[in-house]
Structure 1
Amino acid sequence: MTAPRTLLTAWNIQAKKQLGQNFLSDANVARRIVEHAQLTDDDVVLEIGAGLGAITLPAAKAAHQLIAVDKDRQLIGLLRAELLAAGINNVEIREADILRLDINTLAGQVDRPLVVMGNLPYNISSQVIVKLIHARQYVDRAVLMLQKEMAQRICAGPGSKTYGRLSVMLQYCATARELMQVKAAQFFPAPKVDSTVIGIRFSDPPPFPAIDEALLFRVIKAAFGKRRKTLRNALSQSDLQLDPATCEMLLTQAEIDPTRRAETLSVAEFVRLSNAVATKDNS
């Protein structure tokens, strides 16, 4: 791969801080990331933020097709030139905002679930993960590079300080694990923190299905909305419109001590709690 500094200088382009642009500059790291995706010639990859093509080129060589999404118009011409020079012709480049892209429709067009890859800017990481959760019927797996702190949050288990709303939402319907670490020095320009590559594989159906998934996500949000408070107090002070006595009753019904805090609950316990809330008017 051509060094990012060299490419950007040749095309008179500067990395845009507002888009969180830090370009991977180590070809060996890019190769290892693609290897972790375990691509076959039947896979269609959706790459988020293709940038200068560090992951695009090796991933396209391993997959049936790659759809590269980037919202920076300046980079698209550069990426096309890099693909042409490498003799790669199975990449479709879309100038688009990933948060507005309809993944369901895209998967329908290629007639198979997608493998999602990308180096995610910190400011949209959470939104992308939530988007993938909602579109998981159309996503087989994902290999994503995130800021180290964000990756730790996503993969954290109950009882950890980093365990939170996003951890529970993702682990409800997927397994997530850290695959490899990437130092800040392996990017240009170098970010202030290191990155972690994580692997996500979605489960269908989830191991502990919720009666009402939208309600489950509301309960999770409510519980972590005031994470320093007991569950009874956090839930009763949320938009779930439950008084303290009802919260205590529902928590007891779900076999959860009302004085516990959100970060101590397992995914299965959150599902039991949301199911109790979903059926409270029938009990």
Structure 2
Amino acid sequence: KAYGRLSVMAQYYCQIIPVLEVPPTAFTPAPKVESAVVRLVPHAVMPYPVKELRVLSRITTEAFNQRRKTSRNSLGNSFTVEVLTELGIDPAMRAENISVEQYCKLANYISDNAPPKES
């Protein structure tokens, strides 16, 4: 649960640096989760640039909307098992086990293989 679509998109744009752990007792009423303060430092150079940000956004939404499903099932409308394997993604992995770099590879694959837009 700690790694989701927001985590992927934040890591795409920034380096995430933990600053401070915040215990549940710091809030009223106390939540049943641990909290943290983090520092977001924008990347000077994107480590995994994508060609179309909207594609990355769509893929992460598809993957995390059904986080208990395997990537074969949650991303099955966009990728075959062969393509996932070719891109270094085990089709049996769940959304939270796919790295930011792998999500960027998926987005670039779609951008590179999309049919040309009609005018």
| TM-score normalised to structure 1 length | 0.36
Matched letter for residue 50 of structure 2:
A
**From 56, 62, 87, the counterpart of 1:222:** 62
Alignment of 1:8-87 (within 5 A): none
1:235 matched to 2:68: no
Counterpart code for 2:68: R
Distance 1:272 1:254 in 2: 7
Closer, same or farther: CA 182–225 of 1 in aligned 2, 3 Å: closer
Question: 92, 100, 104: which one pairs with 1:271?
Answer: 104
Q: C-alpha displacement at 1:268, in angstroms?
A: 0.6
**1:192 maps to 2:25:** no
SS of 1:279's partner is helix
* Residue 277 of structure 1: how far off its partner (Å): 1.6
Q: Percent identity?
A: 35
Q: Which residue of 1 aligns with 2:13?
A: 173
Q: RCO (CA 8 Å, sep 6+): is it higher in 1 or 2?
A: 2
Task: Give SS of 2:57's match.
Answer: helix
Tell whether the 8 Å contact from 1:173 to 1:205 is kept in structure 2 after alignment: no
CA 1:267–1:229: 2 relative to 1, 3 Å: same
Which protein is bigger by CA-based radius of gyration? 1
Aligned partners of 1:173 and 1:207 also within 8 Å: no
Which stretches in structure 1 are left out of the alignment for 5+ residues? 1-160
Partner residue, 1:251: 84
The structure richer in strand per residue is 1
One-letter code aligned to 1:192: A
> RMSD of the TM alignment (CA)?
2.3
State the distance in 2 between where 1:260 and 1:205 align.
Answer: 29
Map Cα deviations across residues 228-264 of structure 1 (whole Å, 9 max, x no partner). 111121013xxxx53xxx4323313312222221111
AA aligned opposite 1:259: A
**Structure 1 residues 186 and 261: CA distance shift in structure 2, 3 A:** closer
- CA distance, structure 2, for counterparts of residue 186 and residue 231 of structure 1: 37
Contact 1:220 1:270 (C-alpha < 8 Å) held by counterparts = yes
Q: Could you state the TM-score of these two structures normalised by the residue count of structure 2?
A: 0.78
More helix by share: 1
Does residue 201 (structure 1) correspond to residue 41 (structure 2)? The answer is yes
1:184 is displaced (CA, Å) by 5.5
In 2: Cα distance, 1:228 partner to 1:184 partner: 27
C-alpha distance in structure 2 between counterparts of 1:200 and 1:175, whole Å: 6
Q: Quick check: 1:163 aligned with 2:29?
A: no
